[in-house]
Structure 1
Amino acid sequence: MKQKMTEKRIAGFLVIVFILALIPVLLIGKYNYPCADDFGFSAYSHIAWEETQSIFQVVIGALKTVKERWFGWQGTFSSIFVMALQPAVFGEAGYTLVPWIMIGAMSFSTLFLLYVIIRRVLGVRTPVYVGISMIYLIFALECMVDKTQGFFWFNGAAHYIIPHSVAVILAGLVIWVIKDEGHRFSKMVLACLASLFVGGGNYVTALITAILFVVALIAVVYIKKSKYVKMIILPFSFYLMAFIINACAPGNAVRQGEVGYRPGVLKSILLSFYYCVECITETWFDWTYMIFILALLPFLWEVVKTVGKKFSYRFPLLVPAASFCLLSAMFTPSLYAMGIAGGGRIFNIIFLNYLLLIILNIYYLLGWIYRHCRLGENKESCIESKDIKLYLFVLLCTTIFIGGLYSKVNPDYFTSTSALKSLVTGEAADYGAETRERTLQLQYNNQESIRLKIFDTKPYLLYYSDIGIDADDWKNNSMERYYRIDEIWGVD
């Protein structure tokens, strides 16, 4: 009982930390406001709601957007459908829900996948599962690469965070279908629907999903479990159907015509390995990642001990090598299509997968040590150990100290401190006042053209982009379609 109480207290503490970290992030969402592509992709839906107040007509407007963009700009039909339903369609106040939606999608999908793997497949205790999940979510929330595009700008997050989240759920569903025979039909239906969505989403998520499907098929054939093949083939077929529709869109050629330089396939692949190494060594391995790894160690060691010798851990070099290749593959679509490694919203989902791969690799390494070095074979929880308690306490103090120093120098380093800074200094409220004034001008305008003051206040989390001083600016054009105004000019 004492052992279980200790684990529960630590897990409960991590849950409280995550909730406290969320509070300022969700509060600042009150001042969030649509911009740029938010207007262009949801114009039909917004007009339909204004004219009919009908959800059905809004959906028709979203489908019209999908058709227009599929022929004229890009084939990612499932992402476009979601983009066309951004919350401000039903009123600008709805945009305050964006961080709730994006953080909720990221959190639910991660909790689901880790639940399936840690609880259902490996049979590990709930507090250990909660501890690992919370460490991941706290780190993902606070250290997201581009926080604005990850949590606050709907259009960018809808194209990357949501498909990523659905792909994570898909992985959990496929594993669960294979592991558990209960409700297999309903889980398979959900897996097929998720596959359709992922296949019609961004190419980064779509590519690694295809790779994971192929790896899963190879794995079940290798272990001679042919009965599992059909459980993978069926959702994979739905994925392929959606991806073909996505890739064959005439709009893709139109968009590619706007790109000046594009490396070939082979060069894109080679550059992918280069950028992966660069990101890991120069960007994604600072003190925060060391804290992340050190915090995970006792929890993952408990997973290894619970699993015992059920797994042989025969591939200690193959797993990190395969992880590196998978992570590198996420850079390839952007390099091939545009000649660049990707923008902030692309790096966001690469980052989230990087964290999952860190968990996998630490677990596998600890499993190999446990199996081949005969360590930790006693049944007592290492988390109950006084040494581990001291270890975790020192780690917590170190995190608070270093994190406090970084936050003092750069409050925008962490998502929560950035939100708290904007709330306390009043810049979030000032930005909110500017957006409300602009919204009222747009809603009550009865002229063919209108001049809008360009934003003076630009909070780190809330501000992504603004209109230009030229009425021909594409951002102005998007807003013109949304509000049905002939010309919108930006004024300094």
Structure 2
Amino acid sequence: MKEKAMEKLKSADQYLEQHEKIFAVLSVAGLIALVIPFYWFGLYTVPMADDYSMVLGTHNAWEATHSVSRVLYSALVEMASRFMTWSGSFTDMFVQSLLPGLGDYNMYFLVSWILITLVLFANFYFGKCVIIDVLKASKEKWLIITSVVTIMQFECIPSVYDAFYWFVGAIGYTSGYAVKLILLGMIIRELAGSEKTTVVKYIMTAAFAFLLGGTDYGATSVSLICVFGCMWIWGIYTKRKRTYIFLVTLSFIAAWVIGLLAPGNAVRAELLPEPRGFLFSIQQALIVGAMKIYQWVSPYMIIMPLLFLPFLISALKQCKYRFYCPAVISFLSYGIFSSVYAPTIYANYGAIGDVTGYTNNAIYLIFVVLWVFNLTYWIGWILQRFSMEKQQDTEDKKRFSISLYYISAVTLVCMMVCVAHIPRDYNSFELFHWIRTGTMQENKQAYLAREKIYKNSVGQDVVVSRITPPIASTGGGDITQDPNNWVNQCIAAYYGMKSVRLE
């Protein structure tokens, strides 16, 4: 009986070893199933807060001319105005003025669909650059590892509404993470290649880097600059493609400095207390970073990577690169992660360690990437330091069983989801819950009824009923009972009303 069981187990292991595609299909299918509620939920979201103020000029241009060129010109005018009066992140200001649908409630779902797709594309593109182009692993391993990492990010992102369903907040941070990850993938792919960098690649990468330097100049930009610093060290040590690294870094930092020196930042700073000291901010950022790592390194972060661990080990065993000084790499990663907190601490933007939900989303996405990177590096170092071949035994009783491994890993995941946590602790389940109960559908109908009132009340004082979304935004918000509130004024200006408030 025991021999038959062992024979079946061996047969199953051999089958799975030869059919990575099964795991790849299952991983991608799992990701698709869990992402569907994110897209579905987006059908019932509407504009809010800054969405109206940023899109007012482009909306008026479209209503007056129905000309795409006039809309783009209006976006440039808005960008220039905000550069002088509010923020130096010029690329963000331009994109935020081009809200899909320009404020139309029925078109707002495009916001979430574009943002979700952008993050998915960024993760898979970056994964391809690292797993296929650098590690030279198979496409199946790329799909498996990237799918699981993406699930880790989507399911526990701190403020899911701010991440995908509020355009202005998400453009600054969620999309900032995504586009900078794409840039990083492009650079890594180029550095891993042996061919000479062409002039076209120089120009394209430098131009892309300059545009991204005009996005969020806080969390995502500071961490990327730290990564550029590490690339500089690598380039000096290996004497490879130093001109390429220098040009891309210079392009990004030039745009970043232009954004920092924008007059609008000084105007905005007048609304805040005096900035904290530079060295004090770095010190406190390191403390906050350590606290966040302690908070986020949970059973979830340990158990989920078990789903791709065998394939990661297989890829690393075939890797030609050497993994040196893993402790130093982890220390640098800690520094890069902690750096994301320095800008808000320096600007005295709230209590030390407190960040808004949309900023926290970008930080969490960065944390997951760094966490998986460190797992990969340490495993690579262990494999090269202690050859696995010395530990192998030809006897079946000591043979590593893929089947039993996956039964154990999946069991741990199920226990984590169904026992240690309520399923609604994970974003897919919570989003689906509010769709299944009809809450989001009812909210959307209430918002559409309110939009109709707005459109039919030009020049009037308007009073509307409160609508309470089941998942709130931490940054944006609805109108209040005060007609002089900035959100109320933005919406009144957008629809041409004299004023608007809650009853």
The TM-score normalised by the length of structure 1 is 0.92
**Structure 2 counterpart of 1:297, one-letter code:** L
**Structure 1 counterpart of 2:412, one-letter code:** T
Q: Is the 8 A contact 2:145 2:308 kept in 1?
A: yes
| Partner residue of 2:297 out of 271, 274, 285 | 285
Describe the superposition over 1:190-249 as per-residue Cα deviations: whole angstroms up to 9, x where unpaired. 322321222111122221222222221221111222xx0111122222212211220111
In structure 1, C-alpha distance between the alignment counterparts of 2:232 and 2:104, rounded to whole Å: 46
Cross-structure match for 2:339: 329
Single out whichever of 84-93 and 61-70 deviates more from structure 2.
84-93
Q: Is the 8 A contact 2:149 2:368 kept in 1?
A: yes
**Structure 2 counterpart of 1:136, one-letter code:** V
| Partner residue of 2:144 out of 128, 131, 142 | 131
Q: Quote how far apart the aligned CAs of 1:346 are.
A: 1.2
In structure 2, C-alpha distance between the alignment counterparts of 1:367 and 1:43, rounded to whole Å: 52
1:439 aligns with 2:454: no
Describe the superposition over 1:395-437 as per-residue Cα deviations: whole angstroms up to 9, x where unpaired. 21332233134664x62x2111111110111110111011101
| Partner residue of 1:399 out of 413, 424, 445 | 413
Cross-structure match for 2:226: 211
1:312 match: secondary structure: coil
| Partner residue of 1:265 out of 266, 270, 278 | 278
Closer, same or farther in 2 for the Cα pair 1:312/1:386, shift >3 Å?
closer
Q: Quote how far apart the aligned CAs of 1:312 are.
A: 2.8
1:189 aligns with 2:199: no
Closer, same or farther in 2 for the Cα pair 1:188/1:443, shift >3 Å?
farther
Unaligned runs of 5+ in 1: 380-384
In structure 2, C-alpha distance between the alignment counterparts of 1:305 and 1:193, rounded to whole Å: 37
2:500 match: secondary structure: strand
Describe the superposition over 1:272-291 as per-residue Cα deviations: whole angstroms up to 9, x where unpaired. 1111111111x312221122
Say how many residue pairs are matched: 479
Instruction: Report the RMSD for the aligned CA atoms in angstroms.
Output: 2.2
Q: Is the 8 A contact 2:174 2:362 kept in 1?
A: yes
Single out whichever of 336-345 and 124-133 deviates more from structure 2.
336-345
Q: Quote how far apart the aligned CAs of 1:182 are.
A: 8.1
Cross-structure match for 1:104: 117
Q: Is the 8 A contact 1:65 1:81 kept in 2?
A: yes
1:31 match: secondary structure: coil
Q: Quote how far apart the aligned CAs of 1:452 are.
A: 2.1
Closer, same or farther in 2 for the Cα pair 1:90/1:146, shift >3 Å?
closer
In structure 2, C-alpha distance between the alignment counterparts of 1:240 and 1:330, rounded to whole Å: 16
In structure 2, C-alpha distance between the alignment counterparts of 1:479 and 1:90, rounded to whole Å: 10
In structure 1, C-alpha distance between the alignment counterparts of 2:121 and 2:384, rounded to whole Å: 33
Describe the superposition over 1:365-397 as per-residue Cα deviations: whole angstroms up to 9, x where unpaired. 111111111115899xxxxx8623322222213
**Structure 2 counterpart of 1:196, one-letter code:** F
Single out whichever of 292-301 and 320-329 deviates more from structure 2.
292-301
Describe the superposition over 1:435-454 as per-residue Cα deviations: whole angstroms up to 9, x where unpaired. 10111111222333222222
User: What percent identity do the matched residue pairs reach?
Assistant: 26
Q: Quote how far apart the aligned CAs of 1:167 are.
A: 0.8
1:155 aligns with 2:168: yes
In structure 2, C-alpha distance between the alignment counterparts of 1:13 and 1:182, rounded to whole Å: 39
Cross-structure match for 2:313: 301
Closer, same or farther in 2 for the Cα pair 1:296/1:358, shift >3 Å?
farther
Q: Is the 8 A contact 2:52 2:103 kept in 1?
A: no
Q: Is the 8 A contact 1:31 1:96 kept in 2?
A: yes
Closer, same or farther in 2 for the Cα pair 1:98/1:73, shift >3 Å?
same
Cross-structure match for 1:222: 237
Cross-structure match for 2:401: 387
In structure 2, C-alpha distance between the alignment counterparts of 1:196 and 1:207, rounded to whole Å: 15
Single out whichever of 438-447 and 249-258 deviates more from structure 2.
438-447
1:469 aligns with 2:474: no
Describe the superposition over 1:335-367 as per-residue Cα deviations: whole angstroms up to 9, x where unpaired. 111144321111111111111111211111111
In structure 2, C-alpha distance between the alignment counterparts of 1:103 and 1:406, rounded to whole Å: 28
Q: Is the 8 A contact 2:326 2:377 kept in 1?
A: yes
In structure 2, C-alpha distance between the alignment counterparts of 1:339 and 1:490, rounded to whole Å: 28
1:32 match: secondary structure: coil
Unaligned runs of 5+ in 2: 1-13, 393-398
Cross-structure match for 2:426: 414
2:127 match: secondary structure: helix
Q: Is the 8 A contact 1:150 1:161 kept in 2?
A: yes
Cross-structure match for 1:382: none
Q: Is the 8 A contact 2:47 2:103 kept in 1?
A: no
| Partner residue of 2:470 out of 459, 464, 471 | 459
Closer, same or farther in 2 for the Cα pair 1:77/1:303, shift >3 Å?
same
